[in-house]
Structure 1
Amino acid sequence: MDDTDDDAALLARFAAGDGRAAATLLDRQGPRLMAFVRRMTGGDTAEAEDIVQEAFLRLWKKAGEWDAGGAAQVSTWLGRVAANLAIDRHRRAARLTGLPDGYDAPDPVPSVAARMIAAEGASALDAALAALPDRQRQAVVLRHVEGYSNPDIAAMMGCGVEAVESLTARGKRRLAELLRTEDPR
């Protein structure tokens, strides 16, 4: 197997029974996807690992029918599936706390001192990201933390490039507000 194979070729090799192709694809896509999902879950590593694992399981199930010539790249498909899983889990957790169906509660943001004590070293940026609405956080993290292009983000999020630009701009403005109000100086 050639390590320079594109992701779709690796997926096709996996579908044909090549386990090394799956390992290569996991090594290639796993760390970046894990970093993204970890931020989507507010730094909950265990939750992020579960989501990344589920996203890859869904990819492995789809391997035999993957359309290499299709519009989706493996990386953007994984990102979209993982983001949807993270958002679904967040909403499910909110419903379990007794909130009415359809209510998408914002992430609770404890005081700066409480966050610093509880998180031991968690950055103010991570806390501010956690306070953003799901779609804004997703767009900002994908664009400015993970470095995806707007068209790739649009494919992951299932929206247009203009919507990504709007979500990113609103998210950046809100981050600036949160970081300004949390500065104790």
Structure 2
Amino acid sequence: MDMALDTLSEIPDDALLVLFANGDAAAARALNLRLTPRVFAQAMRMLGNRAEAEDVAQDAMMRLWKIAPDWRQGEAKVTTWLYRVVANLCTDRLRRRPSVGIDAIPEPADDSASVADGMQDRARLDALYRALDTLPDRQRQAVTLRHIEGLANPEIAAIMDISTEAVESLTARGKRALAAALAGRREDLGYSDG
């Protein structure tokens, strides 16, 4: 028997996955509504291409559904497993891509109130992405997961299959490199010390 979606909102991800594995369609819908936007957002940030991000999100969710019957509660967080799958799928796609200049990547859509604010936000984002693109892959992934996704270091360590100390080192080095890359741009990007 399916439970109502609102009654499932408080149930942890791993319990919903087990319910799905036992045939509960409402649990699958609730988990899908909860996780797909996060998975898509991570893929979009890594790939910068909506169609590819949608494909990766769909592939990652399909992999989650396939492993549902074998999921062992308490061994790993569903989100950690899923972020790792997305990161791996995106990395595979990026490796297969021909090298493309940053200018060929479309600017992200901006819903800001004014044109001037939109232009400023786009310039800041462009500067950040250009600076992120200069980082080694592992540093970029750690910085993105920590400071854009907002994940904690232990969760990032699990996703990247490294120690928490290695995550701290990667993010610290990445932040220093980003600060150095953006140091001379404060005024052009509209930041003032006053």
TM-score of the superposed pair, with normalisation by structure 2: 0.77
Letter in 1 for 2:59: E
**SS of residue paired to 1:159:** coil
Give the equivalent residue in structure 1 for 2:107: 119
Deviations 1:22-65 (A, max 9, x none): 12112212222222221111x21111111111111111000000
Letter in 2 for 1:10: L
Q: Please, which runs of 5 or more residues in structure 1 have no aligned partner?
A: 98-106
Letter in 1 for 2:131: A
Letter in 2 for 1:82: V
Q: Evaluate the alpha carbon distance shift between residue 129 and residue 19 of structure 1 in structure 2; reply closer, same or farther with a 3 A threshold.
A: farther
- 2:170 corresponds, among 160, 167, 171, to 167
CA apart distance, 1:183: 6.0
Moved more, 167-176 or 8-17: 167-176
The equivalences for 1:61-140 within 5 A come to 61-70=66-75, 72-94=76-98, 108-110=101-103, 118-119=106-107, 122=122, 123=125, 124-140=127-143
**SS of residue paired to 1:67:** coil
Give the equivalent residue in structure 1 for 2:23: 17
**SS of residue paired to 1:119:** coil
Letter in 1 for 2:92: D
Q: Matches of 1:128 and 1:33 in 2, distance apart? A: 24
Q: Matches of 2:25 and 2:180 in 1, distance apart? A: 48
CA apart distance, 1:3: 1.9
CA apart distance, 1:90: 0.7
Give the equivalent residue in structure 2 for 1:101: none
Letter in 2 for 1:62: I
Q: Please, which runs of 5 or more residues in structure 2 have no aligned partner?
A: 109-118, 189-194
Q: Evaluate the alpha carbon distance shift between residue 167 and residue 108 of structure 1 in structure 2; reply closer, same or farther with a 3 A threshold.
A: farther
CA apart distance, 1:134: 2.2
Asked if 2 retains the 8 angstrom alpha-carbon contact of 1:39 and 1:130, the reply is no
Q: Matches of 2:54 and 2:151 in 1, distance apart? A: 21
Q: Evaluate the alpha carbon distance shift between residue 147 and residue 108 of structure 1 in structure 2; reply closer, same or farther with a 3 A threshold.
A: same
Residue-pair matches, total: 167
State yes or no: 1:54 paired with 2:42: no
Letter in 2 for 1:68: Q
Deviations 1:89-129 (A, max 9, x none): 111224xx6xxxxxxxxx7445xxx87xx527642223333
CA apart distance, 1:162: 0.9
Higher relative contact order (CA 8 A, sep 6+): 1
State yes or no: 1:155 paired with 2:143: no
Give the equivalent residue in structure 2 for 1:104: none
Identity level (%): 52
Q: Matches of 1:40 and 1:90 in 2, distance apart? A: 9
